Amino acid sequence: MILHNFELSAECYAVRLLAAMLDITLELRRIDVFPGREHEEPVFLALNPLGTVPVLETDGASLYEWQAMLALLAARSAHQDLWWPTDEPRLIEWLGFAHRLAASIGPARAHDGMGMEADIDSCRRDAHRLLRVLERHLWFAECDGNHWLLAGAHPTAADIAVFVHVILSEEGGIERMDYPAIRRWTDRVREIDGFIPMSGVFSPLKAVEM
Amino acid sequence: MTIDPKRWYPVAASDDLPQDHVYQTRLDGRPVAIWRAASGDVNVWDDRCPHRGVRFSVGYVIGDELRCQYHAWRFASGSGSCTHIPAQPDAKPAAAIRAQTWPVRERGGLVWTGITPEGEPAVPIDGAVLRAIPVNRAIEDVEPALKAIPDAAFILQPVDTERCVIRGLAAPERTYAIDAMLERLRLTLETV
């Protein structure tokens, strides 16, 4: 599978991260979104008319939607039932929540890091409103002995989809000090076997201790 | 506001400090990192490595030491003394290199600190620790509003001039209901 990848995109990171956790090898093709704007060039638009990254090419077909790529990776793994529980509607609920995070933290990061235009106050306000909801959910989940977004002993694609946006929030000026349960949960995600970091994301201790 | 240097203030819940985690908050504008050593002891430190100023709260707990994320210098629980500098593995770090430590007590399921606090922290009632609710309002605006919430005792953590955290204790079976009341109160206070 070929992933057309921009290193700093949270959505691209989600696909790389889940693939790593599922031990699936992706062939990476670099798309210089910033500053090169390669995603706006005809050659890329021929690949993905939406002009967005990532794009996943597999068996001659392409996926444009990062969450569909997570579904595909789970389906190609030996543990689809663990990572993509089809009998749990809340999986879709949290994937939707991840889209909302992408629409607030994403533009805030692009504004602060790449000089893109955004209504920065509104982005940050929306992000904090979402993070408060996430914090409350995770705090009471911990009280019930649950470590992940969905009840159960195993993380799911929902954790990965939400994590990639949350963990980069400070690059958009959105601090996480007010969200202790979220900070503990991001520690837990970093401890999942196969975890890989990206620019702005720290590795777990076990990866840096020699 | 300026805090009372003689008072203890709650800055975390005991449950906020699982093994190998560094908790982050502020007291009256001062960033602090809070962590529990393998020994069980809780540390409240300036959230700033004395070497290059990187936040300790992005570092790692290793047993009874905190390891800075940047250059992996290590600092000891209790004293805050630097114990190890990777670039000089055979040298004993100078005694002057230490994390800035704060007074600390763990009482009533809460972690308390202060500038030069006197006596012991006053735990208002026995009970379960409520979820902490940060509010973007000054403590003076929040304190009177809490009187409307029954069956709980509250202690406020001053975070910044215009921000505080509501911490509280209540009977365990009441925590979810009170949490919902506090959420509504926060929305009301912040939209005034």
Q: Is the pLDDT of residue A6 over 80?
A: yes
Q: Binning pLDDT at 50, 70 and 90, where does residue A125 land?
A: very high
Chain B residues within 8 angstroms (CB to CB) of chain A: 12, 15-16, 18, 20-21, 23-26, 58, 60, 62, 67, 69, 72, 131-132, 134, 165, 176, 179, 183
Same domain, B98 and B132: no
Contact B135, B163 (CB under 8 A): yes
pLDDT of the residue at B28: 96
Q: From chain A, pick out residues whose CB is under 8 angstroms from the CB of B21.
A: 183-184, 187
For residue B26, the number of C-alpha atoms closer than 13 Å in the C-beta half-sphere is 17
Question: CATH no. for residue B173?
Answer: 3.30.70.2750
Say if B110 falls within a structural domain. no
- Beta-carbon separation of B131 and A136 below 8 A: yes
- pLDDT over 70 for what percent of chain B? 99
Q: Is the pLDDT of residue A130 over 70?
A: yes
Closest-CA residue in chain B for A183?
Answer: B23
How many CB atoms neighbour CB B94 within 10 A?
Answer: 10
Q: Is the pLDDT of residue A210 over 70?
A: no
Same domain, B21 and B101: yes
Q: Which residues of chain B have pLDDT under 70?
A: 1
Same domain, B178 and B97: no
Q: Binning pLDDT at 50, 70 and 90, where does residue A177 land?
A: very high
The set of residues, in sequence order, having a beta carbon less than 8 Å from that of B108 and lying 6+ positions away, is B121, B123, B126, B129, B169
- Beta-carbon separation of A180 and B18 below 8 A: no
Same domain, B59 and B100: yes
pLDDT digits (tens, 9 = 90+) for A52-78: 999 999 987 899 999 999 999 999 999
Same domain, B92 and B32: yes
Same domain, B64 and B30: yes
Same domain, B98 and B13: yes
pLDDT of the residue at A60: 77
Closest-CA residue in chain B for A138?
Answer: B131
Look at chain B and report how many structural domains it folds into. 2
Mean pLDDT on A141-151: 97
Angle at which helices A180-190 and A157-166 cross, to 10°:
120
Rounded to the nearest 5°, which phi and psi values hold at A146? -100, 135
Say if B148 falls within a structural domain. yes
Picking from A9, A187, A205, the residue whose alpha carbon sits closest to that of residue B60 is A205
Contact B34, B10 (CB under 8 A): no
Which of B52, B70, B105 marks a domain boundary?
Answer: B105
Say if B115 falls within a structural domain. no
DSSP B148-191: GS-SEEEEEEEEETTEEEEEEEE-GGGHHHHHHHHHHHHHHHHH
Say if B183 falls within a structural domain. yes
- Beta-carbon separation of B176 and A140 below 8 A: yes
Say if B15 falls within a structural domain. yes
pLDDT of the residue at B192: 72
ipTM surpassing 0.90: yes
Question: CATH no. for residue B87?
Answer: 2.102.10.10
Q: Binning pLDDT at 50, 70 and 90, where does residue A208 land?
A: confident
Say if B20 falls within a structural domain. yes
Mean pLDDT on A20-48: 96
Closest-CA residue in chain A for B134?
Answer: A178
pLDDT of the residue at A57: 96
Say if B21 falls within a structural domain. yes
DSSP B12-36: EEGGG--TT-EEEEEETTEEEEEEE
How many CB atoms neighbour CB B81 within 10 A?
Answer: 18
Collapsed DSSP state (helix, strand, coil) of residue A65: coil
> Given CB atoms, is A202 within the 8 Å cutoff of chain B?
yes
pLDDT of the residue at A206: 83
pLDDT digits (tens, 9 = 90+) for B9-55: 999 999 999 999 999 999 999 999 999 999 999 999 999 999 999 99
Sketch out chain A's domains with CATH numbers: 2-82 (3.40.30.10), 85-190 (1.20.1050.10)
Task: Give the length of chain A.
Answer: 210
Q: From chain B, pick out residues whose CB is under 8 angstroms from the CB of A139.
A: 131
Interface mutation vs chain B, best among A135, A143, A178, most B CBs within 10 Å: A178
Which pTM does this prediction carry? 0.96
Q: From chain A, pick out residues whose CB is under 8 angstroms from the CB of B25.
A: 177
The domain containing residue B46 runs over which residues?
9-105
Same domain, B78 and B17: yes
Mean pLDDT on A160-172: 98
Q: Is the pLDDT of residue A86 over 60?
A: yes
Which of B35, B70, B105 marks a domain boundary?
Answer: B105
Distance from chain centroid for Cα A87: 22
Torsion sign over Cα B1, B2, B5, B11: positive
Q: How close is the nearest chain A Cα to the Cα of B23, in Å?
A: 7
Same domain, B40 and B71: yes
Same domain, B96 and B48: yes
Residues 119-138 of A with CB under 8 A from B: 136
Interface mutation vs chain A, best among B14, B17, B57, B131, most A CBs within 10 Å: B131
Same domain, B71 and B158: no
pLDDT of the residue at B1: 57
Which of B75, B105, B135 marks a domain boundary?
Answer: B105
Q: Is the pLDDT of residue A38 over 70?
A: yes
Same domain, B142 and B91: no
Average pLDDT over all residues of chain A: 96
Q: How close is the nearest chain A Cα to the Cα of B54, in Å?
A: 13
Structure tokens at B70: 């940047």
**Interatomic CA distance for residues A142 and A32, integer angstroms:** 40
Say if B117 falls within a structural domain. no
Rounded to the nearest 5°, which phi and psi values hold at A144? -90, 5
